[in-house]
Structure 1
Amino acid sequence: MPCPTVTHVPAATRPSWWGGVPRTLALPAVVAFLTFGSTAFAALRQPYARPLDVLGVVLLVIGPAALVVRRAYPREVVVLAAAAVVVWFGLGYPGSPMPAAAVIALFGATVAGHHHVAAITAATSIAVLAVWTYVAGGTVSWPGVLIVLAWLTVVVAAGVLWRFRRERREQVRAALAEEQRRKAGEERLRIAQELHDVLGHHVSLINVQAGVALFLLDDDPEQARTALAEIKRSSRDLLREMRSTLGVLRGVDAAAPHQPTPGLDRLDALLDDVRAAGLEVTLRTAGDTRPLPTGVDLAAYRIVQESLTNTRRHAGASTATVLIGYRDRELELRVDDDGTGPPAVETTGGNGLLGMTERAHALGGTLEAGAGPDGGYRVRARLPLPEPAEAVVETGDATVRR
């Protein structure tokens, strides 16, 4: 026997909770059922009241029927339901939960933001019914009027609080969504900056080494082989860092990065790459070296990397000097070269200088770039550091390494 096929209805198309009746009809149907049942029972217990006739049935139907469109026309529904209640009690029909539909409409109009209409309708209905009773020769129970007013005030106040609570939830959701969008935008900018720095550095090295290899291929094959080996190593490093960075964009890292986040501890390897590309670089340090916060360490590495990349690409320099200064409350970075100076650098239209400035500002630091005191070009950044546990006594001496 073949197995029966089970069809799963998607959540978005499943019928609503009350026997398959649409939600817009469920509440009016329940209100109508309770109203008719309780009114019929009340008519048996109140023989002095006006018998339930065609007009009475129409008045009973008006309220629940109006609730069907309560979301689209909240003001009209509350006025219509209240009018039906006034006519019902004004004509002397039995006392029953007949006003339930009007109370629900009153609450709905308040939640929809029409609390003024709801309050005026409630007060006007009570006043009209009191005058009608008095003109018809009946007795107006003022304590009863005050009790009804108090209950209707509670209903309106509950609607206002419900609306306020709903608006607060919407504001919180909107704020969370905006915060997520902001963080996503910041992450995209950070990744774009990382890609710019990685691509700029490695592609520049590959370009220089490829030129050297082509130039020396016939005259000095061994030197050309060395340049090709450098190209291979730089391209491998480029691919590794790109996979690590692009993995964040995909939301999934296929494997953990093989290298830690770059910092000043990898500066020697960076300078070796730059020297291999033909730019003689001197590294100087001042102050006592100490561990740096991860964000500062990464930013310092990237600023030095981008500065040297710009020097190789645009400045036409033959030498450069990198100074790393460890101060009490800040890390100073300074890259000087003997190139052509700011015009050749500033007219390239790139994003390197802007990216370095953003990195420094993101940490509360500063970055200056311009002509050096002895010609060439200078990039100088100051990145704030947490206060060290012990005071550092600076001697002013600098350690020079080549």
Structure 2
Amino acid sequence: MGRERRAPWARESGAGPPWERWARPGRLPWASTLAVAVVQQAGSSYAALHQPGRAPLDSFARVLLAAGPAFLLLRHRHPVAAVSGACLAAALYLGGGYPYGPVFISVAVSCFTAVVAGHRRVVWSAVALLWAVHLLIAHWLYQWLPPAGDGPAGWGAEWAPAAWAAALLAAAELVRVRREQWAHARAEHAAAERRRADEERLRIARELHDVLAHSISVINVQAGVGLALIDSHPEQARTALTTIKAASKEALGEVRQVLDTLRAPGDAPRSPAPGLDRLQELTRQAAGAGLDVHVTTEGPPADLPPGAGLAAFRIVQEALTNIVRHSGSRTAEVLLHYGPDALEVTVDDEGPALSGTVSGGGNGLLGMRERAAALGGTAEAGVRPDGGFRVRARLPLRGQREQREPRGERGGTGEP
């Protein structure tokens, strides 16, 4: 069987349905072939004792009884050749007038394997031709073929072998369909695993970007301050270095937490994921970078569905990082509005944008949109009419929580 025929059912060792373990193209089925050969030889000898009117089993008959099983050795690699050879040996056996017996076992096995492998038309054609040869021999050509004095077969006796052939082909079709279903389910499972892996890689990349971009921005600003003041104002330079140490320590801790999920997937994180409860800590870090942040909360704070607290924290963190890096403003306004259905997060700065910066196209802004979209919300960023810049995100408060709580997941502001 060619590579393109096997591709839909290709699999790793030990995987797949039970029948695939004996249908591997890489090895010859010696045991089953030998068993069929023994049954055909012994069964035909027994049938000859009870059919004295048929031609005796001579050496040519023995060769034909061995030829059919011999073709079965090829049934996994070359199923068409196996079906053709087994049917030809059976047709010659019928033409020789030998006793009826288990000569058709090799035909049945080869046809079953070929149908499962997808060669339906070849099998149906071969069975039809063999059946036509049988009818010609039994009803018209018997006068010129051995044994001498043989008469025509009764038409009523033809129904039993026809029923057996139909049952065999139906069973083979059933197995073929089941095998295709198994292959399709296996392909869908593999695709789902790949999607989960891609989503996990994207989540980790987002986390690392947000952590490192914010912390390195703070470190960069403080390093510049320290270098500028190290000679004239060493105490202020010391404060800048202290801020650098704190920011780098926190960044290392968060990076370690993200990487721990790679080393031990499925284990609980050692520390909770950041949420809005750490917003004050975030504003202190921004203050260390020279950015004055004012936080305003509107509405009664509500319980956030899984992941929403982390998403809100990262969105504010990214927005503040962009202000530090790309805006000439040294103040920022953060508004948390708890509505009946959603939490709206708005971060504003007065601008103007520093020369050479871009708005709306960075990886951080793309990460904001991805985080919000993963929770069923939205995020947008753009320049305000007065020249400032605004980041606004809307995170649903109900939909995600109601869908997850029945499965036993708990709410909160941490990562799910």
In structure 2, do the counterparts of structure 1 residues 253 and 78 end up closer, same or farther at CA, with 3 Å as the change threshold?
A: closer
What amino acid sits opposite 1:197 in the alignment? D
In structure 2, do the counterparts of structure 1 residues 31 and 255 end up closer, same or farther at CA, with 3 Å as the change threshold?
A: closer
The DSSP-based 3-state class of the residue aligned with 2:303 is coil
The 5 Å alignment of 1:3-402 reads 23-135=28-140, 136-137=142-143, 138-251=151-264, 256-257=269-270, 259-341=271-353, 345-346=357-358, 350-386=362-398
In 1, Cα distance between equivalents of 2:328 and 2:206? 24
What amino acid sits opposite 2:117 in the alignment? A
In 2, Cα distance between equivalents of 1:133 and 1:288? 93
How far did residue 41 of structure 1 move?
Answer: 2.7
Is the 8 Å Cα contact of residues 138 and 152 (structure 2) preserved in structure 1? yes
In 1, Cα distance between equivalents of 2:87 and 2:101? 15
Does 348-357 or 173-182 show the bigger shift?
348-357
Is the 8 Å Cα contact of residues 29 and 64 (structure 1) preserved in structure 2? yes
Is the 8 Å Cα contact of residues 74 and 81 (structure 2) preserved in structure 1? no
Is the 8 Å Cα contact of residues 300 and 333 (structure 1) preserved in structure 2? yes
Aligned positions, number? 371
In 2, Cα distance between equivalents of 1:270 and 1:211? 20
Runs of at least 4 residues off by over 6 Å: none
Aligned to 2:412: none
Is the 8 Å Cα contact of residues 28 and 65 (structure 1) preserved in structure 2? yes
How far did residue 286 of structure 1 move?
Answer: 0.9
In 2, Cα distance between equivalents of 1:161 and 1:254? 43
How far did residue 289 of structure 1 move?
Answer: 1.1
Identity of aligned residues (%): 46
Is the 8 Å Cα contact of residues 310 and 345 (structure 1) preserved in structure 2? no
Does 189-198 or 199-208 show the bigger shift?
199-208
Task: Provide Cα deviations, 1:229-277, integer angstroms capped at 9, x if missing partner.
Answer: 11111111111111111122334699942x3111111101100110121
What amino acid sits opposite 1:214 in the alignment? L
In 2, Cα distance between equivalents of 1:107 and 1:58? 23
In 2, Cα distance between equivalents of 1:57 and 1:342? 94
What amino acid sits opposite 2:304 in the alignment? L
When normalised by structure 1's length, the TM-score is 0.86
The DSSP-based 3-state class of the residue aligned with 1:346 is coil
The DSSP-based 3-state class of the residue aligned with 1:273 is helix
Is the 8 Å Cα contact of residues 108 and 168 (structure 2) preserved in structure 1? yes
Is the 8 Å Cα contact of residues 342 and 371 (structure 1) preserved in structure 2? no
In 2, Cα distance between equivalents of 1:83 and 1:129? 12
How far did residue 76 of structure 1 move?
Answer: 2.7
What amino acid sits opposite 1:159 in the alignment? A
Structure 2 unaligned segments of length 5 or more: list them.
Answer: 1-12, 15-20, 144-150, 403-416
Task: Provide Cα deviations, 1:32-53, integer angstroms capped at 9, x if missing partner.
Answer: 1111122223323433321111
Is the 8 Å Cα contact of residues 280 and 318 (structure 1) preserved in structure 2? yes
How far did residue 343 of structure 1 move?
Answer: 7.4
In 1, Cα distance between equivalents of 2:205 and 2:34? 58
Is the 8 Å Cα contact of residues 296 and 363 (structure 1) preserved in structure 2? yes
In structure 2, do the counterparts of structure 1 residues 217 and 348 end up closer, same or farther at CA, with 3 Å as the change threshold?
A: farther
Aligned to 2:405: none
